[in-house]
Amino acid sequence: MAGLLGIPWCVGSAFAREGTSDGTGVAKSPVVVSSFAVDVSPPLNQPVGLGFIPAARTREHPLLAKGIVLRGSGKPVVLCAIDWMEFHNDAFSLLQARIAEAAETVPSRVSLHCLHQHTAPALDPNAQVLMLPVDSPRRIATAAYLKSVADRIALAVRSALPRSRRVTHVGTSQARIERMASSRRLLQKDGSITARMSSTKDPKLRSLPEGRIDPWLKTVTLSAGEQAVVQLHYYATHPQSFYGDRRLTYDVPGIVRERLQKDTGVFQVYFTGCGGDVAFGKYNDGTAAARDRLVERLDRGMRQSVKTVKRYKVEGFAWKSVPVRFGRRREPTFSNAYCRQVLSNPMSSESQRLKAAITLAWNQRVDDGDSVLLYRLAIGPVQVVHLPGEPFVEYQLAAQEMAPKSFVAVAGFGDCGMSYIGGDRIFTDRGGYEQSWALAGPSEALLLKAIAGLLSRKPKSGDR
C-alpha cells in the first residue's frame, strides 16, 4: 500500500491493530543492546514541515535521532528519540515501519518520540495533503525530507545491530532538577487560568509559583557488569529556551546530552516526559544568559543522577502494548465541515488553515476507527511507559503512583496527531492555551485506564 508520500509502506493504523502483546515463555537468550545515532537535520533555507516556524537559515547544532535496539526477549525492541518538534499520523507510521524493518522486528515493538524542541520541524503529511496542492514547494520539500530521514535512520539501525553489547544489569537513579521546570497553567484567585509559556519576559509571571511539575530526572542505565553502556534520561518539560530565530538547535537537553556523552564515553539518550503543561517560563526570559543557566542546572542534575546508579541483574525484559481509541472534539469549530470551510476560504489566515488541516487529519483517523498504541518496557525493577501526544504531567505522576514498587519513567511526545492530552477540566477552564489544541477531547479516564493496563502487574524476566 502506498502512503501519502507515494512511498510503499505500511500506513495508517495497521501497526496499531496488531493488538496487545505481553507474552511469556521466551528462550534463555542473553540480553544485548545496540545503539544508533544519525543526523536528521533538514536542509537550510527550504520550507520543511508544517510551517509553525520559518525555514531555518543557520545551524547551531545538528538535529539527531538517537536510540537503542534491545534483543534477547522475543522480537527486538527499539526506543528512539528525535530532535524534532513533532511528528503526526503517517509521518510517525512511516518512521516506525522503516525502523522496525531495519531492526528485524514489528512496528508495535518500536517506540518513537520527539524531544519537542520548537527550533526543529513538525511533520504531518496527512494535514499537508489537505491544505497544500500537490506541487506546493513545502509539500514537496517535506516529502523528500521525510523519506530521507526514514532512509537515514533505517540505515543507522541496520548498521548498529552487529555492534551489540551484552547487558547484565539495569541501573536506576534520579536527581532533582532545581529552578528549571514550571507550570504553563496557573490557577488564579478568581478561578481563571493564566498562561506562562517557555520564554516569559514579564517579571510578574515569573514571580508566580512553579505550580505542579515533576522535578525528578529519571535515569535508566544498561550495563555490562559495572561498565555503563547506555543511559536513558527522562524529564518532563517543554525543552525550548527560545523560539523562531531561524536557527536549528537541539537546545538545552541536547546540549547537556551530548556534553555528558563526550565526557563519560557512555551513549546518552534523552526523552521528554509528560511536559505538555510544563515549560521553562518561570526561569527563562529568552536571553542567552538564561539558557546558559538552564543548561547548567540540567547538566548538574544529569551528572548527579549518573553518579548514584543502583544496579540490578537482568535476565530478560518485557514489552507490552495497549491500543487506545481516542476520540475527537465535538464543538462546531472542530467539525469536519468547519475545517473544510476554513481550508476552502481564500481569506483564511495561514494559522487558521494549519489548525483546520491538522484537526481534520486527526478527525479522519478517529472516523476510520484508528487506534494509537501505548507501550511499556519492563526490565528488572524498571517500567518505562511510552505515551503519545503532549500529555500533561499529571499522567506521569499518576503512572508513578500506580506502580510504587517499580522505578517508573515516562516518555511523552510519541505520535502527536491529537496534540495535547490534558485533564478533562481544561475543557471548562477559563483561560489557558492547551485546550485549543487538545484534538481528542476529554480523554482523562481513557488514558489513565490504559496506563493502568500497562502497569497492571509486576513484570517477570521471562515476559516478552
* pLDDT (mean) for 25-53: 89
pLDDT at 146 > cutoff 60 = yes
- Tell me the three cell numbers of residue 175: 536527581
Reduce the DSSP state of residue 382 to 3 states and report it: strand
pLDDT digits (tens, 9 = 90+) for 7-35: 333 323 333 333 344 443 344 589 999 99
Residue with cell 520548537: 118
pLDDT at 463 > cutoff 90 = no
* pLDDT (mean) for 301-322: 97
CA dist 247 → 42, 54, 63, 278 (Å) = 11, 10, 11, 23
pLDDT digits (tens, 9 = 90+) for 430-447: 999 999 999 999 999 999
72: left (phi over 0), alpha (psi -120 to 50) or beta: left
CA dist 455 → 319, 389, 402 (Å) = 11, 19, 7
Q: What is the pLDDT of residue 166?
A: 98
- Tell me the three cell numbers of residue 1: 500500500
By C-alpha distance, which of 334, 326, 333 is closest to 440? 326
Q: What is the pLDDT of residue 303?
A: 99
pLDDT at 6 > cutoff 80 = no
Per-residue H/E/C for 410-451: EECCCCCCCEEECCHHHHCCCECCHHHHECCCCCHHHHHHHH
Q: What is the pLDDT of residue 28?
A: 56
* pLDDT (mean) for 149-165: 98
pLDDT at 61 > cutoff 90 = yes
Q: What is the pTM of this model?
A: 0.92
* pLDDT (mean) for 229-243: 96
Share of the chain above pLDDT 90, in %: 88
How are beta strands 77-82 and 110-114 bridged, if at all?
A: parallel
Reduce the DSSP state of residue 228 to 3 states and report it: strand
Q: What is the pLDDT of residue 8?
A: 32
pLDDT digits (tens, 9 = 90+) for 196-221: 989 888 999 999 999 999 999 999 99
pLDDT at 458 > cutoff 80 = no
Mean pLDDT of the residues in the chain: 92
Q: What is the pLDDT of residue 462?
A: 34
* pLDDT (mean) for 304-320: 97
CA 43 to chain centre: 22
Distance, first Cα to last Cα, the chain: 29
Q: What is the pLDDT of residue 27?
A: 45
Q: What is the pLDDT of residue 151?
A: 98
How many helices (DSSP H) and strands (DSSP E) are in the chain? Answer: 10, 24
CA–CA separation, 53 vs 86, rounded Å?
12
* pLDDT (mean) for 353-364: 99
Q: What is the pLDDT of residue 295?
A: 98
Q: Would you list the domain boundaries of the chain?
A: 33-454
* pLDDT (mean) for 449-464: 67
